[in-house]
Amino acid sequence: MRQFCVVALAGFAMANASVAMAAVVPVVDPSFELGTPLPTGWSNTGSTTAIGGVSPTHGTKLRFLNAVANSRHETTTNWSPSTTYELKVDVGNRNDIPQNPTVSIELEYLSAPSTYTDVKLISGSLGTFAADGTIQTATLTITPAEVPSIAYGKPIAINLAATGSGQVLFDNVRLTAVPEAGTLFAAGTLIGTATLRRRRAGL
């Protein structure tokens, strides 16, 4: 009976640890403090301090993109099945110049050398992300069902883009990966079963 409880509790603990086991996906220079030249991992240049009523939310600098432009970061983490991904990016809107470019925040996979394919994106006019003179957090969530199997095992890329006319500010990029509870439950069951077998074998 005691051995059975060990197995059951191991599975239960793993299943209920899904939130605690959210993994932070490393992002190089997530608040763009290094400026120019760019650190390894981000494309495009341009960092600034507080401007147009917008102050950095993390550190002392912001990335600015003058439309049409993009800034991409290929992480060292690969896409995995049965995992939910959440990307948060702070988006700023200057209040000292008339503008309303279109903003896109994308998570991609490397589909061929130097070629990236969207898994999912959020897009809209800058005013829908942040009012004039403010900076607000935008969130892109991708569920396991939204990740194509062709992306598994390929690097996760973050792409920040601006089109139209005007300037967009970005700061504090953070990405997390959360395995499905069912995946963790299965892992917990295997751990418990292995423990039980070792005990029966007297190991």
**CATH number for position 141:** 2.60.120.260
Q: Based on the fold, state whether residues 67 and 119 are members of the same structural domain.
A: yes
Q: Based on the fold, state whether residues 53 and 124 are members of the same structural domain.
A: yes
154, 119 in Cβ contact below 8 A?
A: no
103, 89 in Cβ contact below 8 A?
A: no
Q: What is the mean pLDDT of residues 64-93?
A: 96
- Which of 3-17, 91-105, 161-175 shows the lowest mean pLDDT across its residues? 3-17
> Rounded to an integer, what distance in angstroms lies between the CA atom of residue 187 and that of residue 192?
9
Question: Which range of residues forms the domain containing residue 38?
Answer: 21-179
- Check: pTM over 0.85? Answer yes or no: no
Closest among 24, 37, 87, 33 to 58, alpha carbons compared:
33
Q: So what's the pLDDT on residue 184?
A: 47
Mean pLDDT of the chain: 84
Per cent of the chain over pLDDT 90 is 67
SS3 of residue 112 by DSSP? strand
* 140: confidence class by pLDDT, cuts 50, 70, 90: very high
Q: What is the mean pLDDT of residues 62-70?
A: 92
Number of structural domains the chain divides into: 2
Q: Based on the fold, state whether residues 9 and 39 are members of the same structural domain.
A: no
